[in-house]
Amino acid sequence: MEILQYTEEHRMFRDALRRFLAKEITPHVEEWEEAGIVPREAWKKMGEQGFLAMGVPEEYGGLGADFLYSVIVTEELIRTNHSGLAASLHTDIVVPYIISFATEEQKHKYLPGCISGDIITAIAMTEPNAGSDLAAIRTTAVESGDELIINGQKTFISNGINCDLLVLAARDPSTENPHAAVDLFLVEAATPGFEKGKRIKKVGWHSQDTAELYFTDCRIPKANRLGDKGTGFLKLMQKLQQERLVCAIGAVAAAEYMLEITIQYCKERTAFGRPLSKFQNTQFEIVEMSTEARLGRTFVDKLIADHMEGKDIVVDVSMAKYWTTEMASRVADRCVQLFGGYGYCEEYPIARAWRDIRVTRIFAGTNEIMKTIAARFMGL
């Protein structure tokens, strides 16, 4: 029996999404990779077709869909072999903070735009001197009457150029406890004192508009704090379970995609008068990689089911995030080897897939941090 029980509605949604991506997204990927950003029109089209923020409750204009719809979007976007349209970041990582912690007024104000694609979101945690160690952030939020004054800098922010609304992590400098000092805030892109820096040029993820963000006496209402004061770190810890699960889902889907295009290539490419797929070394390589991908799929599907049941799977997700991204990186490297010299050429999709998978071992908490988290919960 399959671990995940997809309904006919899920299958129809996947088919519709796959057709949409083939028509509206994939034909433009090369152009977006060159430009270093996905145009806002693509986000709008995603929203118009109901492919953004599917889990938003109906009272705010959403579908109230289950998490399997998010799984489908993550998997199908991976098959477009580009990272610029970071819908999973928007839908499954940022928007849930608004659903869970914003006021009713804020939910009605922002969530409809998140669904339609009129509002693109980002989350700003990482700083030049604080990555996985969130308690070490230096960006400050100082109370001043009914306002908060924000000063600081964020870096490696995905959707940093396109974002209209930011979930920002900042600290109260008057609070000594580094964990209790952290809070989360909603910051609109048009707020005076909030400046977007230039797009960061990266080894991979070329179409993803990753940027530095600057805050200079940026004033926001106190009401823009998400939840009670001093609870930001706990909120981050609560939501990181889903963020890391999404990373693992993407890693397994990437491994499956890379195997698919590599198997096809090996069946078509000949050497010494026969297809590469007929050589024992090729067969062994593909079987070994396929085994790892299936192990990853089984592990991740079980975690998806547990997550949908509301279980605390922090340790398991930490393990999954590190293992699946390491596995996908191994698959990428071995697939490039099977492509030979062509695997190192931009015209072949495996080249982009290979360079894009590397960062997954770093973001959402480095894999070393994932192991540290698991070790701590194991009492080591």
Give me the CATH number covering residue 111.
1.10.540.10
Beta-ladder partners of 68: none
Domain shared by 196 and 254, yes or no: no
| Residues 60 and 178 occupy one common structural domain | no
Between 379 and 295, whose confidence is greater? 295
pTM for the full predicted model: 0.95
Give domain status of residue 1, yes or no.
Answer: no
The pair phi, psi for residue 341, each rounded to 5°, is -60, -30
**Distance, CA of 71 to CA of 171 (rounded, Å):** 33
* Helix axes of 232-268 and 280-308: crossing angle, nearest 10 degrees: 150
- What does the pLDDT read at residue 176? 86
The single-letter code of the amino acid at 366 is T
Q: Pull the structure tokens for residue 186.
A: 């909603």
Above 90 in pLDDT, residue 178? no
> Per the domain annotation, does 3 fall within a domain?
no
Q: Are residues 20 and 115 in the same domain?
A: yes
Mean pLDDT throughout 227-248? 94
Question: Above 80 in pLDDT, residue 132?
Answer: no
In a domain, residue 2? The reply is: no
Q: What's residue 134's pLDDT?
A: 77
- Give the pLDDT band of residue 135 (cuts 50, 70, 90): confident
**Averaged pLDDT for residues 2-22:** 97
User: Collapsing DSSP states into helix, strand and coil, what is residue 163?
Assistant: coil
Can you give the residue range of the structural domain that contains 261? Answer: 233-377
- pLDDT at residue number 164: 98
Q: Is residue 23 part of a domain?
A: yes
**Domain identity same for 334 and 310:** yes
Mean pLDDT computed over 31-41: 97
Please give the pLDDT value at position 133: 74
Which of 230, 251, 284 finishes a domain? 230
Note whether 247 and 304 are same-domain residues: yes
Band the pLDDT of 52: cuts 50, 70, 90. very high
Q: Which helix (H) or strand (E) holds 122?
A: strand 121-124
Q: How many CB atoms lie within 10 A of CB 144?
A: 10
359 closest CA partner among 318, 321, 319: 321
Q: Note the pLDDT tens digit of each residue in 319-333.
A: 999 999 999 999 999
Q: Which residues form the catalytic set?
A: 243
Residue 267 inside a domain? The answer is yes
- Write the CATH number for 357: 1.20.140.10
Claim to verify: residue 333 and residue 272 sit in the same structural domain: yes
Residue 191 included in any domain: yes
The domain total for the chain is 3
pLDDT number for residue 73: 98
Q: What is the pLDDT of residue 130?
A: 78
Q: Tens of pLDDT along 239-260?
A: 999 999 999 999 999 999 999 9
Q: Which of 82, 98, 119 finishes a domain? A: 119
Residue 69 makes CB contacts below 8 A (sequence gap 6+) with 10, 13, 54, 55, 63
Within this chain, do residues 366 and 352 fall inside the same structural domain, yes or no? Answer: yes
Q: Answer yes or no: is pLDDT of 318 > 80.
A: yes
**CA separation for the pair 247, 227 (Å, rounded):** 26
Which pLDDT score is estimated for 136? 82
Examine residue 327 and state whether it is found in any structural domain, yes or no.
yes
What is the domain-level CATH number for residue 204? Answer: 2.40.110.10
Centre a 10 Å sphere on the Cβ of residue 295 and count the other Cβ atoms it contains.
14
Residues 240 and 373 in one domain: yes
- The label of the residue with tokens 């001197």 reads 129
Q: Last residue of a domain, which of 84, 119, 154?
A: 119
Please check whether residues 146 and 222 belong to one and the same domain.
Answer: yes
Are 299 and 247 within one domain? Answer: yes
323 and 217 both lie in a single domain: no
**HEC-encoded secondary structure of 89-155:** HHHHHHHHHHHHHCCHHHHHHHHHHHHHCCCCEEEECCECCECCCHHHCCCEEEEECCEEEEEEEEE
Q: What's the pLDDT at 113? A: 98
* Domain match, 136 and 179 both: yes
Residue 312 in domain: yes
In the predicted model, what is the mean pLDDT of residues 338-350?
96
d(CA 186, CA 31): 32
Contacts of 107 (CB under 8 A, 6+ apart): 60, 98, 99
